[in-house]
């Protein structure tokens, strides 16, 4: 089961150090993602196969709230080294790494959108029929 520590480590891998005053927001984002996945799949717990997606979605939720309410906290994120292109099925997300065609805020928005939607196509594999 994914937890605060896993999400904290994932955030750290992107260059964001979780502070003590982030704990409530982080827990809220994790629970929001848990509820979303449980409702979408009609399961009591997040299926093991969706845990990595859940972690990325929770990170996306957290970064979105930070971007909205405390954008200065995200200055430590360096999207210059991020993956240039991500392709999932028929969806492709391209980051303008070093090309200057996107502003840092646009790159952050693209990255957050990717995190929020990553793995959602897999939900149907775990969906239980509700009678």
As a dihedral over the C-alpha atoms of residue 119, residue 106, residue 78, residue 7, rounded to 10 degrees, the angle is -30
Instruction: Report the C-alpha gap between 30 and 122 in whole angstroms.
Output: 18
Kindly report which listed range (9-13, 68-72, 98-102) carries the lowest average pLDDT score: 98-102
Per-residue pLDDT band at 97 (split at 50, 70, 90): low
Instruction: Give the per-residue pLDDT at 98.
Output: 54
Using CA atoms, how far apart are residues 69 and 46, in angstroms rounded to an integer? 28
Question: What pTM was estimated for this model as a whole?
Answer: 0.80
Candidates 51, 27, 64; CA nearest to 123 is 51
Tens-place pLDDT, residues 44-86 = 999 999 999 999 999 999 999 999 888 888 887 766 655 556 6
pLDDT winner (highest mean) among 1-15, 71-85, 90-104: 1-15
- Give pLDDT, residue 54: 95
Question: Residue 78 has which token pair?
Answer: 């360096």
Residue 19 main-chain phi, psi, to 5 deg: -100, 170
Lowest mean pLDDT among 67-76, 100-109, 111-120: 100-109
Q: What integer best gives the mean pLDDT of the chain?
A: 85
């Amino acid at each position: 089961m994914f937890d605060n520590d896993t999400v904290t480590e994932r955030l750290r891998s992107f260059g964001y150090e979780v502070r003590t005053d982030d704990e409530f927001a982080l827990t809220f984002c994790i629970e929001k993602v848990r509820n979303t996945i449980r409702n979408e799949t009609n399961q009591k717990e997040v299926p093991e196969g969706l845990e990595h997606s859940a972690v990325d979605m929770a990170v996306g939720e957290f970064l979105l709230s930070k971007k909205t309410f405390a954008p200065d906290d995200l200055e430590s994120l360096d999207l210059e080294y991020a993956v240039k292109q991500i392709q999932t099925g028929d969806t492709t997300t391209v980051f303008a790494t070093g090309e200057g065609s996107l502003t840092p805020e646009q790159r952050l928005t693209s990255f957050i959108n990717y995190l929020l939607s990553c793995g959602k196509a897999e939900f149907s594999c775990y969906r239980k029929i509700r009678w």
